[in-house]
Structures are given as structure tokens and as C-alpha cells.
Amino acid sequence: MRQTYHIGFTLIELLVTITVFLLVMGAIFEISIFSQRFYTTGETQAELLQNGRVILERITREIHQTEEVVTPLPKVLDDPDNPPLAEIEFQDGHFPSPYEDLNSDYYYIRYYLSTSTNQVSRQYRVYCFDPCSTCNSYFRWNSIKIEDEQTIYSHPCNLEEKIIGEYVSGLKIWGVKLIQISLNLEDKNETFELRTKVFGRNL
């Protein structure tokens, strides 16, 4: 009688094959997840860095041209009685002003951090005694006048306001002639801190 042989895999061989296949697929999946996380992290860091550079470059360029800083900045970073500020206002040192048709001798720029939106904004403004809606005479930021024995101070009227950067979790500004700025940015658990110094050329 002729014996018949059946060619195939045993149960153990099938189990080993399936196990090896699952291990390989798991490794491929882990590599894919890691690559995706690495790409996302790099993309987030690049976006934070770009935001920080735009903010600092614009602020430092305009401070460099100013003739007067309005905001009373603390002299040092670590004075608990006079901590760094999250804003700065100064006279626009560029000429001509984009609002030169107002014929004002004084235009001012204010940068500030909104903690509710984590955005840094730029205001362009003049100072008036009259209501902003009717103001047509402009003065220095610290001008005063006396009416009916009362002292009246000039007040700011914003001509424009623009957001120049986002993802900002902290802004610190201090210094006198050498103004220092610390900027903290955060998004998707990634953080950056950037610092710069600017010397007011005309201060």
C-alpha cells in the first residue's frame, strides 16, 4: 500500500509565524508613531521660534529708533518690589509716520501681552485732551492743562491695533538705556524662551 504525505505547517509553526508577524507589525507601528511625534514636535518648535523672532525683531527695531520710552521700566530683572513689565510704550522714532496727515508732532507705539489670548499686540496711538472721536489736536503723552482749577492729563487714542505674535505665555521687559526683553512661548507642551537686548540709539 502506498503511503500518502501531506505537506503543510504544523500548529507550532503557524503560531511562531503569527507571533513574528505581529512583532514586526508592532515595531513598524511604533516607528511610525515616533516619526509622527518627532515631525509634530519639530513643526511646533519651528512655529514657536518663528513667532518669537517676529515679535522680538519688530519690538527691538522700533525701540532702537525711539527718542523716549514712556513706560517706567524697572532697572533690573529680579527686584521683587518692581518686577518686569509685560508691556512697553515709546515714541515712534520713524519718519514719516504712517499717519502724518494728522500733523501731529508725537506718535507713540505700545506693545503688550494679553494673558487671556497669549497674543502680543501692537498699538499705534496719539495723545489728546478731547474725546478720541473728535480729537484733532495732539500732544505729548505727559501733557497737562488746567481747566476750572482742575488738572487734566492727555489720554491715548489708538489709531490702529494689530496682533504681531501668538503662543506667548510670558513677556518681561526691563532696563533703562539698555532695554532687555524675555519672551516665553508655549504650544502643545513645547516651550521656548528667547531673550534679547536693545540699546535705544536716540535715548
- pLDDT by residue (tens digit) across 57-116? 999 999 999 989 999 999 999 999 999 999 999 999 988 999 999 999 999 999 999 999
What's the pLDDT tens digit per position in 5-30? Answer: 556 567 777 777 788 877 888 777 77
CB 68 within 8 A of CB 90: yes
In this structure, what C-alpha cell is assigned to residue 67?
A: 527718542
Q: Which pTM value belongs to this model?
A: 0.79
Ordered by start, the domain boundaries in the chain are: 46-199
pLDDT at 42: 67
Residues in the chain: 203
Report the phi/psi class of residue 92: left, alpha or beta, with left for phi > 0 and alpha for psi in -120 to 50.
beta
Place of cell 520710552: 69
Degrees (nearest 5) of the Cα angle 91, 92, 96?
A: 145
The per-residue pLDDT for range 41-56, each reduced to its tens digit, is 667 778 888 899 999 9
